[in-house]
A and B are shown apart, each in its own frame.
Chain A
């Protein structure tokens, strides 16, 4: 057919091949596995591989393979039953040096992974696991910041010797009252030098005083709120990583909520404890008279000192006395050194902490000072059949730097890479400023239900699709079969795009796929009906095909665009299930436009246009 440009055939063919390739990984079901990752200085190597194999053999747990992937090890099992036994065995055998977690290993062939083709991750409703929704109490952080500005203003006024009647909290800001307007003006310029975060308003008090209201600027408040969420997300990520969950989802939802989804985790209580851990910070002096390596080997530590470890396993010996603790830390942010341009972390202490820090640094320039990050996690252990509630405390040194000069309120930690600076500032903040979080929603989804859902959903979709394909083929004959091919590729392309983008497949998502396929069917029905109409009106077969496509173009586009508007609205406004539905529908609609208009036209043109002889009838 001359009116169908050749390049479009290539586009259609390319889309079909890519669709097949990128949808393919989804037929490879992931295999139950156990993931072993090292803690501290433990190593994943051939020795461990041998040990794991003997441990499993001893416990008579059959495994399929043990592979090392970078710094973690995967042990694959035939089914989930054996997988559970295996993880229990290994957890006992390997102890605290390794984190043993249930995982699903991909069985997708390497050549597919090499071209970036992945299987769609399955949602919690399909895979099982726990879902938490946490509400972050931003007000607590705001109150803390407000208090900080109050302390700042008071000490600034004292330092500059500006007389004032009172300084107190008021609404979202701080109110200071002066005897004269002159004092007030002086105060404004003095405070403004220290910080640019505040906006000032003047007023008179009923008692005749001159009041100054310093409010935190909205932009600063917004930054503060966003920072609070980001920081809580990071804290949660660290804690979830400690749980060893395979593919956790931790993301912000709305303004002040965080969603945590842990696939495969069944023990809500354990997960909840991990998420609800409390973190604090302590600054300790380093003891230069002790060799930490030696102390770690012999266990000989002076009575005033304690042996700590850094995250990479390096031992550090610190004095027991605390210089400054986390609640005295006001702010920590990563930035760049003004002079050298190197990454650094800026720390601000409150006045009490600043006084002690000044005291300490005056006497200890050139020595080291360590920051200990302490996390307390409630734990339940079963001892002699009884539940015993204990707490598990992990203490890690996150930084041990040389004191370069005397400092008090504000100081910088330098000599870090940009990544290290980011991490340190986040850890400092999560140990001091983290906003309290409440779990407002939790769901446990059993994997049995998940598997059942998948099986039933798969069966229902395959059956529904088969019935519709059959009906279309019977009713529209050759054109029905062409429409069927397009419909199948519509599904393939949809799955391929979802896999590429990384959309998580959920039950509402499956519903979205079905609706998108319905739209594609409708488009094909519209085209076929139009062609029939044209034939009845006496047009030649070729002309009927051409006018059929032309005349149904506008209605198909209109219908698809209206649906797309709906889908995009659901995607952007809706939450959770509604959103998932919207995303799938939107992708499906765009693909349906392509398969219904371009793909079927290409196939039809190929069938009917190639023949030299004139077409007498159309099989529609």
Chain B
């Protein structure tokens, strides 16, 4: 069974002006969204207040959640503690709060508001224990470790690709990687999806996934450059994209199937992860077709760049 005809030859490089303009627009919108709207950082990053409430009668978590929503506490994390009559609520500090107030006072004031919101439906609700303040400093530490991780990932991959391919491939891969990551983040900022640890994890996964796609296309470019005697660079790039197109689409759809299943049935805890991966897969797939290769061309990759490596390293020459 085949979905794509194997002799497919679409002139992707011919569309490079259009595709790069679209990419540029997406990038600008994303940067704007991240800069102006900002990422909606979750509790992991901002810190907040932990309130534990006990009821006289068993309570439905969804009910408590909607009561809090009505009172203006969005993104409150409601969980049941032990039985069915006690719940724990974690929420961020509202943005309009005076940050200079002492944490305990702040936690006390917020817990009162939470309680009165919950008492609308259940007059018997009361605090199970004193509210606790979860400090934001940990969030800052985690955030920093995440940023360091991304930097280390990018540098490590750059060095490896520079060694295995050529520096221009590494630059093109890095540019596409940043392109994919920024656009994925941009979408999250645009729809104001909560940015928590699972989303961060999936952003890191998207970085890996996107680089994987580029490696596959670039590997074919390298192979074709070495095999073909005389060929124009755009033709080589086009052939490389077309030859790997079937694989690109199939792998993306297989991964997307798994992610869609995770999104639909994995529960709220993995929603953020799955949706970010889906966005990342889409962006990554499109950019390896429409963005990475035109970039490679503009950077001036030619047959010459790839040949000397093979002479220096006879081991590489034996490989395809």
Contact B79 A446 (CB under 8 A): yes
Query: Once the chains bind, are A563 and B212 in contact (CB under 8 Å)?
Result: yes
Interface Cβ pair total, 8 Å cutoff: 212
Residue of A with least CB distance to B144: A575
Partner of B266, one of A447, A457, A515: A457
CB distance from A541 to the nearest CB of B (A): 17
B79 lies within 8 A of A554 (CB): no
B319 at the interface (CB under 8 A from A): yes
Does A522 belong to the interface (CB within 8 Å)? yes
B265 A460 Cβ-Cβ under 8 A: yes
Neighbour of B212 across the interface among A507, A519, A577, CB < 8 A:
A519
Identify which of A468, A567, A575 contacts B145 (C-beta below 8 A). A575
Given contacts A559-B216, A569-B153, 13 further A-B contacts (CB under 8 A): A440-B138, A446-B88, A457-B266, A460-B261, A464-B260, A468-B254, A475-B250, A507-B269, A514-B258, A522-B212, A522-B247, A554-B319, A561-B160
Q: Which of B129, B134, B247, B253 has the most CB of A within 10 A?
A: B247
Q: Is B195 engaged at the interface, CB distance under 8 Å to the other chain? A: no
Please report the C-alpha to C-alpha distance between residue A254 and residue B141 in the assembled complex, in whole angstroms.
Answer: 10
Chain A window 498-528, contacts with chain B (Cβ cutoff 8 Å), 1 for yes, 0 for no: 0000000001101100110111011001100
**How long is the Cα–Cα vector from A620 to B31 in the complex, in angstroms?**
45
Would you list which residues of chain B between 241 and 261 have a CB under 8 Å from chain A? Answer: 243-244, 246-247, 250-251, 253-255, 257-261
Which A residues touch B269, using CB under 8 A? 125, 453, 456-457, 507
Considering the complex, give the chain A residue whose CB is closest to the CB of B281.
A518
Do A460 and B79 contact each other (CB < 8 Å), given the known contacts A440-B135, A519-B212, A559-B212? no
Binds A, one of B184-192, B201-209, B290-298: B201-209
Known: A444-B79, A471-B257, A514-B258. A565 touches B1 (CB 8 A): no
Kindly state whether residue B225 has any CB partner on chain A within 8 Å. Answer: no
CA–CA, A507 and B250, complex, Å: 27
A529 CB within 8 Å of chain B:
yes
| Interchain CA distance A268-B82 in the complex, whole Å | 11
Contact with B along A446-470 (1 / 0, CB 8 A): 1111001100110111011101100
What total of chain A residues lie within 8 Å of the partner, measured CB to CB? 76
B residues 127-165 with Cβ under 8 Å of A?
Answer: 129, 132, 134-135, 137-138, 141-142, 145-146, 148-149, 152-153, 156-157, 160-161, 164
Known: A515-B208, A562-B160. A570 touches B215 (CB 8 A): no
A585-613 interface code vs B (CB 8 A; 1 in, 0 out) = 10000000000000000000000000000
B320 nearest CB neighbor, chain A only: A551
Chain B 261-279 near chain A by CB (<8 Å), digits 1 or 0: 1101111011001000000
Per the bound structure, the CA–CA distance linking A517 and B148 in Å amounts to 26
Chain A residues at the B interface, C-beta cutoff of 8 Å: 125, 133, 254, 266, 268-269, 440-449, 452-453, 456-457, 459-461, 463-465, 467-468, 471-472, 474-477, 507-508, 510-511, 514-515, 517-519, 521-522, 525-526, 529, 532-533, 536, 550-551, 553-555, 558-559, 561-563, 565-570, 572-578, 581, 585
Give the size category of B's interface with A: 35 or more
Task: Tell me if B194 counts as interface (CB < 8 A to partner A).
Answer: no
Q: In whole Å, how far is A298's beta carbon from the nearest beta carbon of chain B?
A: 44
* A519: B residues at CB distance < 8 A: 212
Q: Please judge, given known A-B contacts A269-B129, A459-B265, A522-B212, whether A574 and B254 are in contact too, CB under 8 Å.
A: no
Query: B53 on the interface (CB 8 Å rule)?
Result: no
Docked pose: A562 CA to B156 CA in angstroms: 8
CA of A281 to CA of B302, assembled, Å = 76
Report if B81 contacts A (CB, 8 A): yes
Q: Which of A266, A464, A471, A521 has the most CB of B within 10 A?
A: A464
Interface residue B166 (Cβ < 8 Å from any Cβ of A): no
The interface centre, meaning the residue of A449, A476, A533, A567 with most chain B CB atoms within 10 A of its CB, is A449
CA distance A239 to B200 in the complex (A): 35
Interface centre among B160, B215, B246 (most CB of A within 10 A): B215
Residues of chain B from 175 to 224 with CB closer than 8 A to chain A in the complex? 197-198, 200-202, 204-205, 207-209, 211-212, 215-216, 219-220, 223
CB pair B273–A511 under 8 Å, yes or no, is yes
